[in-house]
Amino acid sequence: MVIDFSPFFAGRPQLERLFDRRWPLAGGWPAQPVFPLLNVSHDETAIYMHCRLPGVNIEDVELILAGDTLTIKGERKPVQGRYYRQERPSGPFQRVATINAPIDQDAIRATLKDGILAIVLPKAAPSAPRTIAIATP
């Protein structure tokens, strides 16, 4: 006697896609990468962000710093044509990064070259401890 278990396994890819959309890290299934990809590093003087934005024009990108949150918003315009397969995402995107250091907002720099958005967020100078004189009445 042969037992056919294929009906139990046929729905697994649909079930995995459902879980990936609702709970990206549930069940150990790898989550889809978030676009745009972002690398964040720092040193004593600044926080550095490098964001991959291939095919995005500089006028289609907006950076907003509000409090301790940096938002990268934009749109990758779709290339017209007929495709057999299209894996590069297109359309609007938004990426939010929390910054856990005081930033000198007047010295922030951003450049977009060769599809890489480079953002430099200089850290604000820490307030130095000072001695307070106590006056006698």
Q: What is the pLDDT of residues 16-31, one digit of tens each?
A: 666 555 555 544 444 4
- In the beta sheet, which residues pair with residue 39? 50
User: Mean pLDDT of all residues in the chain?
Assistant: 80
Q: Tell me how crowded residue 26 is: count the other CB atoms within 10 A of its CB.
A: 10
What tokens were used for 136? 């006698």
User: Which range has the top average pLDDT, 16-20, 53-57, 87-91?
Assistant: 53-57
The yes-or-no verdict on residue 1 having pLDDT over 60 is: no
CATH class given for the domain over 34-122:
mainly beta
* Chain CA centroid to CA 72, Å: 8
**pLDDT-wise least confident of 44-58, 73-87, 94-108:** 73-87
Across residues 130-136, what is the average pLDDT?
Answer: 82
At residue 7, the pLDDT reads 57
- Helix-, strand-, coil-residue percentages of the chain, each rounded to 5: 20, 35, 45
Distances (CA, A) of 24 to 18, 29, 86, 94: 9, 8, 22, 18
Query: Which phi and psi angles does 26 have, rounded to 5°?
Result: -70, 140
At residue 29, the pLDDT reads 45
Across residues 106-122, what is the average pLDDT?
Answer: 94
Q: Where are the domains of the chain?
A: 1-32, 34-122
Question: At 26, is the secondary structure helix, strand, or coil?
Answer: helix
* Chain CA centroid to CA 26, Å: 20
Residue length of the chain: 137
**What stretch of H or E contains 20?**
helix 12-22
Q: How confident is the model at residue 137 (pLDDT cuts 50, 70, 90)?
A: confident
